[in-house]
Amino acid sequence: MIMLTLALVASSLVSAPGDDVRQPNVILIMADDLGLAELGCTGGTRIRTPNIDALREEGMLFTNAYSGSTVCAPSRCTLLTGLHTGHSQVRDNGETPNFTGRPDDPATETIGGWKIPPEPNGFWGGQMSLEPGTETIATALKRAGYATCGVGKWGLGGPDSVGHPNHQGFDHWFGYLCQRNAHNYYPTYLMRNNDRVTLDGNDRGLVGKQYATDLMVDEACGFVRTHAADPFFLYYATPVPHLALQVPDDSLEEYSGLWEDPPYEGGKGYLPHPEPRAAYAAMVTRFDRDIGRLAKLVDELGLKDDTIIIITSDNGSTFDLGGYDPEFFQGTGGLRGAKTWLHEGGIRVPLIVTWPDHIAPDSSSALAVANWDIFPTVLGLTGANTSSDQLDGIDLAPALLETSTPEERDHLYWEFHSRGGMQAVRMGRWKGLRTDAHADEAAPIELFDLQSDPAETTDVAAQHPEVVARIAELMKTSRTVSPVKSWNFGPDARGEAAPDLEGEPETIRTWTGRGDGRSFADPDNWTGTEPISVAGLRDAYVIKDGAAVVGGRSGCASLTFAGGRLVLRAGRVTGDNRGFRDGVLEVSGGSIDRQFLAGSRVRLGGDGVLRLHGPVDPLNRTTVDFTSSSARLEFTNETPEAVRKEHLRKITIGGEPAVPGENIRIELLGDTGSVVLIEKGGDA
């Protein structure tokens, strides 16, 4: 980590407690999936953003700015904590179960993380929580006397969790806690602090009566008015322009009929829309209008000269998904990749900072910066202190205020654990990228010269072995081991030694079925007396009763482990719409039905059957090792061709690579599925 060294800004710019000079307010605006080139001031030509463009003219644009990650939750974690994904608590998206009622109600049941909670009392569960005591921008500014408010989309802890914004430095919260709830702009409810605010007239359809971001900007403006006399910190994490494509008619009309606009009928996720291009552009322009409302209010209250406004995005623009047209909007500005990739198009973002009379208008900086720099920069601009003695970010205040040169650093580092695992390093003009890092921790590093090849078209690793060697070393030393085993690289870090069940009897719970006979979370169905929370299973759970049907008709809820394991020797575990995450799965008999497996390791032996129903990446960051010729791996929505292309490298036979025609065969299952079997003579 880089030791945090705050720049000493002139006393006329910041104030310490007791000084007469007011500390500056901070408004930190994070868009969601907003591409580098989708604003007028960053080169966009399709979408009108006059208010953001005006703020850019009043302040500084960073032309080499990066997000903290290439998807939502980890990027938000790096922004708020100042730690990059090699050190941060959250390094990928991760789902927790949803609830049929308030999470703290004993009558509440957990349901699948992607299943819509029942009305009128259900709750979305959220994502992995920040830990108690985490130092965030909000906790630091709160200690410095700031009123703190978060509005928009959180994604770092659900209701009644330790990661809730109210436990992470925010006096007030309004919006979505769960990222999945934010996939609809007409939700049935939002959260105000820990209370469910029902939105009458909304049913999560394409249209409704209460548009979520309209309510959010109202809340944000109300907070600013209430705290006009005090220094305040407003974190406005809009869900725009993340899909689904939804926008009120008055905004849609601004773009309706402007272009040829074939309807999006669905089929690639999210809701369909009759005018997808117009809808996307209108969403961004309405977001710009909301920023204009905030900026105008700050000015009307006489706070403009006392307010720092920061605008950025959590990652690059999305890919061909849910009606978004990447070729039409060119949101990456021609850079390679998009959201979910560590290529430049997935992590390059806009970054604008304004502070009248302090930051020169219409100024620019070519420094390579990332969103984990924002935390120390806010400290540098406000004079606040942090309880953390180390941050990965550097203070950019000297560049913003043109007082000196910011602290030098050797590199920027990212890691991401979906899509097979990736690592990236930016080191001066050089960008190193490793993909398929979970399958092979020594996977080759591609090297790009961003100075001459910003679109990463040509791998020059062979010409610069010394640079590749340095980047390889940085990929090892820039990270610490994550307690989430699937967020690590290499078998030792992931704890892939074969589990010794007999050696840890105190952690083994065996199915008895003496409770309701079907619920995984009913402790009476297992030996032992401790309660069971499927949000983070740690023990070994053994099922060897041939009559057991775990899950019953409704299917077993999504299973999220924290290094634990499920051992199925007989019986059935049902739930074709549910997942299995971050654990070891041993199937030597019986059958288990899941939609997907993520970040897990499977040993498939005996006459065990693993049946996967997901149409998209059912083996996400997961390996399957066959140990018996009688075992079966079935994909009900993946053709043999798709299995060979997408999953073959994730399958082994007794630890050896799977080779069709030699040790495995992949056959058609029904009309659209596949079955993987050990080839005769290829027994493990």
- pLDDT of 645 > 90? The answer is no
What pLDDT shows up at residue 508? 86
Instruction: Read off the pLDDT of each residue in 187-203 and give the average, rounded to a whole number.
Output: 97
Average of per-residue pLDDT across 279-305: 98
**Separation CA 621–CA 600 (nearest Å):** 7
Residue 429 has pLDDT above 60, yes or no: yes
pLDDT in tens, 67-93: 999 999 999 999 999 999 999 999 999
594 sits in which H/E element: strand 591-594
Q: Where are the alpha helices (H) located in 301-364, listed in sequence order?
A: 326-329, 344-347
380 is written with which tokens? Answer: 């540098």
- Tens of pLDDT, residue by residue over 242-251, are 999 999 999 9
Distance CA 164, CA 157 (A): 5
Q: Which pair of structure tokens corresponds to residue 197?
A: 């605010």
Tallying the residues shown for the chain, one arrives at 684
For residues 449 and 426, what is the distance between their CA atoms, to the nearest angstrom? 10
Q: What is the pLDDT of residue 458?
A: 97
Q: pLDDT tens digits, residue range 354-376?
A: 999 999 999 999 999 999 999 99
Buried b (16+ CB within 10 A) or exposed e, 152-173: bbbbbbbbebebbbebbbbbbb
Task: Say which CATH class 414-491 falls into.
Answer: alpha beta
Domain 25-97+127-409 class, CATH top level: alpha beta
pLDDT digits (tens, 9 = 90+) for 478-537: 999 998 888 998 764 544 433 444 334 347 889 999 999 999 988 999 988 888 877 778
pLDDT on residue 76: 98
Q: Average pLDDT for residues 585-600, to the nearest whole number?
A: 92
pLDDT for 113-134, tens place per residue? Answer: 888 999 999 999 999 999 999 9
In the chain, domain spans: 25-97+127-409, 414-491, 498-678
**How far apart, in whole angstroms, are the C-alpha atoms of residue 660 and residue 644?**
8
Longest C-alpha distance within the chain, in Å?
Answer: 83
Residue 11 burial (10 A CB sphere; 0-12, 13-18, 19+)? exposed
Please say if the pLDDT value at position 683 is more than 60: no
Give the C-alpha separation, 352 to 364, whole Å: 9
